Structure 1
Amino acid sequence: MRTAECKVSLDLASSKMSPPDISNSTGEEEAGETDPLFLLNDSMGLHQPGYHTDIIKHLGVQISLITAYSLIILLGLLGNALVIYMIVRYRNMRTVTNFFIANLALADLLVNTFCLPFTLVYTLLEEWTFGAVLCHMVPFAQALSVHVSILTMTVIALERYRCIVFHLGMRLTWHSSFLIMAFTWTVSAVLAAPLAIFREFRYEEIPSINRRFPVCTEKWPQVTSRDGLIFSLSMLLLQYIIPLAIISYAYICIWVKLRNHISPSSRNDSINRRKKTTKMLALVVVVFAICWLPFHAFQLAIDLDLVLRLEEYKLIYTVFHIVAMCSTFTNPLLYGWMNKNYRNGFLMVFRCEDKPDTFHLEGSFRTRSLRRTTLNGRNGGHPPTAV
């Protein structure tokens, strides 16, 4: 049932941040009861008759998991830190779209620093050794980062939809963009709050073999209810399905608008830049959706108790989790591949150079507001914003 604990891996995706439950999944025991002997056997790889040997205990598998998670953490920290550094360091990069991109990078950094190390250790040890405070904070931080990422991508898509499809002259200012980012973090914190509130850190006692080990589990108000399942399905809609539907609609409309747009030859370059930037931002969303799809699908199957008896259940869960976490370092790679400014900036950092004149505000980073500022004087017009 949903309140029992199976120490598999921290669930990052659909806001069910505790490891999925495989004990009592047949419904033969009362909801909320956990067989302590099963928990111990599961954590030590000493399964009772009828249970398979835990393949994650194999040395080769553990080395592979350590390597995969370490690479994701390293690439995520390096790439996202470079993105934020460039936007903070170079004035020409401080546009609304880039501020939102920096917000994405910050959310990914939160995953890399405050999620993946704990996830890796918990997966390998299968005991929660980090204490009561982190039992509440880690799941909250994980859910928070995923919500911020998808909400920020939704905001980017809607802003570009508003400006390109409707040709609205009113652009977002820096002040407005920071308010929107603060709003995304606030909403995300509210949505992630149940993961911090309904948690329990305790020790499981196994008197027959004198074994005591710590666990971090979900603890919903009514143990016999389906609160956990309802919350998980609700977050799946709010965190994945609905935002991706909105984003897809926005980018389809934008693409149709740009494809059918007829303008004087003097504006062809501007249209091409918009197409390139829209393609880059849409690809960011596509990669995010593809990375998270297997994990979301598997998590839904877990919530419905459809896969808990698969022989390689824990390994499959962990592999899908690794695939989902790849989204935390792919964005900087896409920026460097598809945007000249980011590519030049990354090269400058690696070469220890400082040439801000190499930034030409390509694509969404070249804006009407910036051109208006140039025409109206240093202090006139509006700060640069994205179109």
Structure 2
Amino acid sequence: MRIKRFKDNGWMDVKSDKYYYLHASSSFSGLDLLFNLKILFIPLYSAVVLIACSGNLLLLFLIWNNKKRHNTTNFLISNLALVDLLMCIFCVPLTASYAFDKRGWVFGSYMCHFVTVMQSAAVYAAVLSLMAIAVDRYVVVAYPIRKRVGCQFCWGLVLLIWLASLALSTPTASHTVYLDLRATGLQMAVCEEFWDGQERGRLIYSCFILFFSYFVPLAAVSISYCAISHQLKKRTKSGLTACPELRSARATWSRRRKKTFCLLLVSVVCFAFSWLPLQVVNLIRDLDTDFSIIGKNYINVIQVSSHLFAMSSACYNPFIYASLHDKFLEKRFICADHCNM
């Protein structure tokens, strides 16, 4: 998920476990353009980190400062906030430095692998959390009087999400290579994915990432939305013959659930559109090794722009989810006291 700074850009070729360094002047044109735009990108990256860190910390405080908000949905929202926070602390600054520092990756081999795994796992954790939220919203609407699960289940669910995310990141981790090129006379180091002799595997994995990161969560949310709409319509029809107090109570309940689901739907859409450009650019780079679609002069700038747009998704979520915690979340809704069924 990180920026592929040098891969397939005339700098490096990997064959039979030997690294051949291709030092052509034409290879620098794209990097020169990127370095010239450093004065524009660095403030934007800084703004993303500042807004995302402060916003997600505030969101975590809003949720965990009030025990009434300790439910499954808010556990998953907290996990999303934690994902964004970790990504903005560990991934964004180091990846931005890698993109704009002429020395390449200056943080060593350990951080190379750590940041690669962290950013990949963060994307999967966010996707799995969004899917879990969609399922949870349906359960809440379809079975409103069902006993809610406890904190132990929520902690287990979050742990399962992270374990699955780390497992899905294994291909990225196993193909990440840190190379110190000072021995070759180049004062730089690189941290990249290399699929030596496994071009088919790399393409399959890229397609899997694109499919799993977008089509699966969007399909899950769409199915959940249709199911929730069906349940709400059934409940509305059954409430037409109820007493006025019960009809009013059910209307309030429906508005609350619709608002919650709409906000979660907005979050999924923002996530999908924010990450789509970077995923598409990475897929194009895997397919178009000759740079016939995106030229070498512009590929680095386009990829950094796409990466910045993807990271900006961490800024939206705190504002979307914080709006859930209005006065409705401070009240307990009980309709049984208004009239007899």
> Counterpart amino acid of 2:298?
E
Q: Which residue of 2 aligns with 1:131?
A: 108
> Does the 8 Å CA contact 1:291/1:327 hold for their aligned counterparts?
yes
8 Å Cα contact 1:32-1:223 kept in structure 2: no
8 Å CA contact 1:158–1:250 kept in 2: the answer is yes
Separation in 1, partners of 2:130, 2:84: 13
Equivalent residues, number: 322
Given residue 117 of structure 1, which amino acid in structure 2 is its aligned partner?
Answer: P
Quote how far apart the aligned CAs of 1:32 are. 7.4
Aligned residue in 2 for 1:333 = 319
The equivalent of 1:265 in structure 2 is: 248
- Alignment-derived partner of residue 190 in structure 2: 215
What is the distance in 2 between the residues matched to 1:110 and 1:96? Answer: 21
Whichever residue aligns with residue 55 of structure 2, its letter is: G
Q: Deviations over 1:31-85 (max 9, x none)?
A: 87765243xx6xxxx5369x56731121xx1111111110110011001001111
Whole-Å Cα distance in 2 between the matches of residues 36 and 241 of structure 1?
38
Deviations 1:228-257 (A, max 9, x none): 222222222223222221122212322343
TM-score scaled by structure 1? 0.74
User: Does residue 96 of the first structure (1) align with residue 64 of the second (2)?
Assistant: no
User: Counterpart of 1:238?
Assistant: 212
1:80 aligns with 2:56: yes
Counterpart code for 1:178:
W
Post-superposition offset of 1:203: 2.1
Native 8 Å contact 1:136 1:195 kept in 2:
no
Specify whether residues 18 and 52 from structure 1 end up closer, same or farther in structure 2 by C-alpha distance, changes over 3 A only: closer
- Asked if 1:293 is matched to 2:270, the reply is no
User: d(CA) in 1 for partners of 2:180 and 2:80?
Assistant: 37
- Aligned residue in 2 for 1:382: none
Cα 1:204–1:277 shift into 2, 3 Å: same
In structure 2, distance between residues paired with 1:138 and 1:155: 25
Q: 2:261 aligns to what?
A: 278
On the 8 A contact 1:32/1:224 being kept in 2, the answer is: no
Contact 2:182/2:189, CA 8 A, preserved across alignment: no
Deviation, 1:23, is 3.1
Alignment of 1:1-387 (within 5 A): 11-12=1-2, 18-19=4-5, 21-23=7-9, 36-38=21-23, 46-47=25-26, 54-58=32-36, 61-126=37-102, 127-165=104-142, 169-204=146-181, 210-220=185-195, 222-223=196-197, 225-259=199-233, 261-262=235-236, 263=239, 264-305=247-288, 307-336=293-322, 338-341=323-326, 360-361=328-329, 366=332
* Structure 1 pair 293–31 and aligned structure 2 pair: CA distance change class (3 A): farther
The 1-side partners of 2:218 and 2:266 are apart by 12
SS at match of 2:273: helix
SS in structure 1 at match of 2:188? strand
1:131/1:37 Cα in 2 relative to 1: closer, same or farther (>3 Å)?
A: same
The normalised TM-score by structure 2 is 0.84
The alignment-based identity, stated in percent, is 29
Shift of 1:21: 2.3
* Cα distance in 1 for residues equivalent to 2:187 and 2:157: 47
Aligned CA-pair RMSD: 2.9
Q: Distance in 1 between matches of 2:140 and 2:35?
A: 53
Equivalent residue letter for 1:57 = F
Structure 1: distance between partners of 2:333 and 2:116: 39
1:93-138 superposed Cα distances (whole Å, 9 cap, x missing partner): 2222111111110011111011000111001015111101111111
Q: Which amino acid aligns with 2:189?
A: P
One-letter code aligned to 2:167: V
The Cα shift of 1:170 comes to 4.3
CA contact (8 A) 1:84 1:105 kept: yes
Determine helix, strand or coil for the equivalent of 1:47: helix
Distance in 2 between residues matched to 1:232 and 1:361, nearest whole Å:
40
Quick one: distance in 2 between partners of 1:145 and 1:48? 32
Amino acid at match of 2:132: V
Q: Which runs of 5+ in 1 are unaligned?
A: 1-10, 342-358, 373-387
Q: How far apart are the structure 1 equivalents of 2:46 and 2:133?
A: 30
Cα distance in 1 between the residues matched to 2:233 and 2:6: 46
